[in-house]
Amino acid sequence: MKRFIKRLILFFAFPLVILLLGYVIALKKVNSYQPQKNIIICYIGDSHIQKAIDDKLIPNSKNFGKSAEQYLHSYYKIKLLLKDNPQIKKIYLGFSYHNLSAYSDEFTDGEKTAFVGTKYFFLLPAEEQFKMLKSAKENRNILLKNLVKELVNSNIKKTKDLEFIGFYQNKFNNSKADVKSINKRVRQHFYKDNKIIPFSQKNIYYLKKIIDLCKEKNVELTIINSPLHPIYKSKIPAKYTNFYMDFCKKNQLNVLDLSEMKLAEDCYIFDGDHVSAKGSEIVTKHFQKLISSQN
């Protein structure tokens, strides 16, 4: 009987030890990430900045944007990037009206965490990791499956190829804005049951932490409000546009507002709040001229 119990303990203990070892290695690997030493400009944010700024066209810069990234994720990413990297002098952070919406919370402590948040799991402190594990009630199995996937990837992939890092990507080569899709996107961002969605206190909290972190590290932070189709922008609730302007003013933020940049229909993708590949090239060249004139 004692021999059976010992074997049973070993049977369950072995995979737990392997998981713990993998967890420790993944933490160490993620937190050892270092950008190339020639990188002095970083672009951070969600898919809007990921698709808008082609870092290949701007020397000494790197686009770290990632689809559906929230400021919780961005904060810890920036914290890692600025650790032991004094050569990084400027951060351009994507900040638009939709980033203020509590719709965003689905990606940090809601059902969509299982599909998005898991990419950042090993970047986050233990407290946030526990919150993530408790978050996705209906998608708990998917969350655990994706966490195991990230655990394996973090152990076998090269550090520079890890999911959380992000990169420029825009595969929309033949697209244009669609009014029906734009209206759907506006409702998704700002309305629920025909009522305006409240602000995301979590996104606002971590945005403030990003501002404070950049000040602490003496890094120049500039906000990029990426191009929006005129129909999309006209339908944003005034509550959001007013708060946005007040927030930027109150926090004395440098803002590059490209939201009203005049672009052709095929410079947007169907939803009207992302630019297409063609739009990205135009936006990047315009952005480059703007920052060059400021130097």
CATH class in words for 31-294: alpha beta
User: DSSP states of 93-141 as a string?
Assistant: EE--GGGGBGGGGHHHHSGGGGTTGGGGGGGS-HHHHHHHHHH-STTHH
Q: How far is CA 260 from the centre of its chain?
A: 22
The SS3 call for residue 191 is strand
User: DSSP states of 20-56 as a string?
Assistant: HHHHHHHHHHHTT----TT--EEEESSHHHHHH--GG
Beta strands in 71-114 (DSSP E): 90-94
The SS3 call for residue 217 is coil
CB 124 within 8 A of CB 79: no
Within 10 A of 191 (CB to CB), how many other CB atoms are there? 15
Q: pLDDT per position in the chain (295 positions), as tens?
A: 555 444 444 444 545 666 677 788 888 888 889 999 999 999 999 999 999 999 999 999 999 999 999 999 999 999 999 998 999 999 999 999 999 999 999 999 888 898 898 999 999 999 999 888 888 777 888 888 888 888 888 888 888 888 889 999 999 998 999 999 999 999 999 999 999 999 999 999 999 999 999 999 999 999 999 999 999 999 999 999 999 999 999 999 999 999 999 999 999 999 999 999 999 999 999 999 888 776 6
The SS3 call for residue 91 is strand
Predicted TM-score of the model (pTM): 0.92
Q: How far apart are CA 110 and CA 29, in angstroms?
A: 27
The pLDDT, as a whole number, for residue 124 is: 95
CB 20 within 8 A of CB 152: no
For 49-81, write each residue's pLDDT tens digit. 999 999 999 999 999 999 999 999 999 999 999
Tokens of residue 147, six digits: 């966490």
For 4-29, write each residue's pLDDT tens digit. 444 444 444 545 666 677 788 888 88
Question: For residue 275, is it left (φ>0), alpha (ψ between -120 and 50) or beta?
Answer: beta
Q: How far apart are CA 30 and CA 248, in angstroms?
A: 32
